A and B are shown apart, each in its own frame.
Chain A
């Protein structure tokens, strides 16, 4: 094949051979059409123009900037700004609508729930988890058990002012005594109260210790948790008779809770988030499945944003 003269010409087409041969098949040196060449030159020109217009050539510490000044960072920034501008009217509308009225505006509510979903991923998942299912000591927001109340206005108030912020007057406040550590009850008495709580939560059958604990419960615990142990939302005192435990319902954990007390804390988001974001978070948390209806007679909560121009 190598010694075949390249000038040899194919008889049928009059085209010279290339000089390659594979199993008797010989390659013709068919000329390319001229327009193909011009197309090729055009692509080269385009490439040169492109590298002038856009960032292209690597230099020592960065690439050439390009005449158009385009950058992917800049493109992202302008996309984000455009998105913010697009959402601004609806955020203003949410900020200007009280949470009680938001429930009657499905189109705003839908945006609020989705906006809240996004904000939750940034601000809340650290404690409450990505699915808002909480963990030991951090409430599950999906269920129908609420410490302070599960209607839209109450959830918004809880997010706004937080829980047990020591330096904040409006925060939700309540304090369970450390009955064992502060020697309000003897270890034996604490065990009796544990036995009583196990009985009213339907985990143990009535027994002697529980009967002793019942009187201790009435004297020490019922003021917050209620005579039946069903809790109080005004004080954030949990219902001890239902199937849901924030820290755990086994005897050891209940004993620890009574001995040391529990003081769960949540930041007040009023300092960090704007009104619309807090409202959207409330809408999202309410939508997770445990949301309760607004009490019919509840006075509309004070709304600063509504008063603003």
Chain B
């Protein structure tokens, strides 16, 4: 071995984290966020949305097999993937926006790793008891009782993990059908594999790796560290008010020497990542604000002002240190950077909405045969062949007519009809929500430019109408 594995310098033993239960404003807010996010995650695939007989009725569906993405009234085709790219860009800028306004709120409240870890920790407390009982149990030798508790805890975790992993697949197929197939054993192998993998990762990441994901694996804390500035909200221990720490007894004996912090360590006890916020801002702090709740309760008990640990920007902390009163949170939300992000975010959103409203739902593409480029027919005319694709992006069959513009004397026919039936216009019906492929022959007089540009025109011949055109080229010897 090149490295002395057990030397203690290169590798760090995991410190156990046993966060204590706490109640307060931020804890209740976290409960609410957890309820909403889990409801969205588990509920969304079961929402229905009527799209008529030719399209699925699942409100949100990523139909990989048929290459369609449905989201309520919006249907995205693969060639419109830039809408998804736009959504991802909006999600990115949205994270910047949230970070500039309220710091690492994503990490603290909405990140799946946070939500599921939180959920798993509640299960843990329910089975093992609160912090002290958990520590005792962890240190206790293995016994039937400990084994029973461990198996019970892991069992419940596994059920939650299975429900989590299992819910994911419903976004990719009709949920009620897939659920029946899943239990029948007739679902696609990929459904079982996905469920198994996501069950395993949920179980491991939520039950065991927890804060290690935030501290070692996730790139986002690093990016956020770079994005935070002196005007960002961070969870701050107001050391100028708290120091020097001392117990109530000591403070009573020497009233002038000690600050507000009574060194009760409640802020450390409740922390889900096991850090001490009094050491200052650090990468391990996901700003879940549970230490604020814990400290506020203690301050209330000892009759001191709340907010010894509180959300506070670095600038405000500096001002407070100089003696100005704490600024309300609402005043630190709006600033030029936040407004700039909000503007960019809204502009992209508005542009996408406009593009969605204005997009055409019928579309033509033409590819010319390259070998041979042209064919001389026995009557002397020249024939070119094209593969035409007409996309009908609406959930009903549509009659269309294809014609040419700018090619004099052109006669069109398809491989399904003889040349005798050639005419200046081809009619076809494109099935609902699909691409019709036509092999199209065009014959034109041999006299003319060697390369003649023209356009294919497709028009829907139903009442709604609409159409598209495509540049093409006719070649002669």
Q: Which of B5, B369, B379, B441 contacts A242 (CB 8 A)?
A: B379
Tell me, yes or no, whether B375 is within 8 Å of chain A by CB. Answer: yes
Contact yes or no, B11 A239, CB < 8 A:
no
- Kindly identify, within residues 144 to 171 of chain B, every residue whose CB is under 8 Å from any CB belonging to chain A: none
CB neighbours (8 Å) of B369 from chain A are 131
Check if B212 is an interface residue, CB within 8 A of chain A. Answer: yes
Contacts A133-B372, A287-B415, A293-B418 given; does A33 touch B14 at CB 8 Å? yes
Q: In the complex, which residues of chain B have a beta carbon less than 8 angstroms from the beta carbon of A36? A: 11, 216
Cross-chain contact A243 with B379 (CB below 8 angstroms)? yes
A133: chain B residues at CB < 8 Å are 371-372, 375
B12: interface (CB < 8 Å): yes
B216 close to A34 (CB less than 8 A): no
| Contacting pair A37 B5 (CB below 8 A) | yes
> Is residue A53 within 8 Å, beta carbon to beta carbon, of the partner chain?
no
Is A140 among interface residues, defined by CB-CB distance under 8 A? yes
Within 8 A of A (CB), among B380-426: 380-381, 383, 385, 415, 418-419
Query: Contacts A35-B209, A289-B385: A142 and B9 contacting too (C-beta < 8 A)?
Result: no
Question: With an 8 A cutoff between CB atoms, is B376 at the interface?
Answer: yes
Also in contact, A32 and B12, with CB within 8 A (given A37-B5, A289-B415)? yes
Residue from the list B11, B372, B376 in contact with A32, Cβ < 8 A: B11
Q: Is the interface of B mostly helix, strand, loop or mixed?
A: loop
CB distance from A19 to the nearest CB of B (A): 13
Q: Known: A12-B280, A35-B212, A287-B415. Is A144-B12 also a contact (CB below 8 A)? A: no
Instruction: Point out the residue from B11, B415, B418, B441 that lies within 8 Å of A37, measured CB to CB.
Output: B11
B378 beta carbon closer than 8 Å to chain A: yes
How many residues on A have C-beta within 8 angstroms of the other chain's C-beta atoms? 29
**Interface residue tally for chain B (C-beta within 8 Å):** 30
**Proximity string of chain A (137-177) to chain B, C-beta cutoff 8 Å, 1 when within and 0 when not:** 00010111100000000000000000000000000000000
Secondary structure type dominating chain A contacts: loop
Contact status B378-A140, CB under 8 Å = no
Binary per-residue interface labels of chain A (18-49) against chain B in the complex, 1 for a CB within 8 Å, 0 otherwise:
00000000000101111111000000000000
**A12 near B279: Cβ-Cβ < 8 Å:** yes
Q: How far is the CA of A33 from the CA of B376 in the complex (A)?
A: 75
Task: Answer whether residue A85 sits at the interface, using C-beta atoms and an 8 A cutoff.
Answer: no
* In the complex, per-residue mask of A279-307: 1 if CB is within 8 Å of any chain B CB, else 0: 00000000101101100000000000000
Chain A residues closer than 8 Å to B280, beta-carbon distance: 12
Q: A34-B11, A289-B383 are known contacts. Are A143 and B415 too (CB-CB below 8 A)?
A: no
In the bound complex, do residue A243 and residue B372 qualify as a contact, i.e. CB atoms below 8 Å apart?
no
Q: Is B377 an interface residue (CB 8 A)?
A: yes
Q: Does B85 contact A (CB under 8 A)?
A: no
A244 at the interface (CB under 8 A from B): yes
How far does the alpha carbon of A143 sit from the alpha carbon of B371 in the complex, in Å? 13
- The verdict on A80 contacting chain B, using a C-beta distance below 8 Å, is no
Q: How far is the CB of A294 from chain B (nearest CB, A)?
A: 12
CA gap between A35 and B212 in the complex, in Å: 9
Question: In whole angstroms, what is the CA distance A290 to B370 when docked?
Answer: 17
Residue contact A242 to B378, C-beta cutoff 8 Å: yes
A145 to B378, CA, bound (A): 6
| Shortest Cβ distance from residue A135 to the other chain B in the assembled complex, whole angstroms | 11
Shortest C-beta distance, A90 to chain B (Å), equals 21
A130 lies within 8 A of chain B by Cβ = yes
- Within the complex, the shortest CB–CB distance from A14 to chain B, in Å, comes to 10
Given A243-B376, A243-B379, A289-B383, A31 contacting B12 (CB threshold 8 A): yes
Judge if B359 is at the interface, Cβ distance under 8 Å. Answer: no
B249 interface residue per 8 A CB criterion: no
Instruction: Please tell me which one of the listed residues A16, A31, A293 contacts residue B11 in the complex, with CB atoms under 8 A apart.
Output: A31
Give bound CA distance, A276 to B279, whole Å.
81
Chain B interface residues (CB < 8 Å from chain A):
5, 9-14, 209, 212, 216, 279-280, 369-372, 375-381, 383, 385, 415, 418-419, 441, 446
> Apart from A31-B10, A34-B14, A144-B377, what are 5 other A-B pairs with CB-CB below 8 Å?
A32-B11, A129-B372, A140-B376, A142-B375, A144-B378
11 pairs, A vs B, C-beta closer than 8 Å: A32-B10, A34-B14, A130-B371, A140-B372, A142-B375, A144-B377, A242-B380, A243-B378, A243-B380, A243-B381, A289-B415
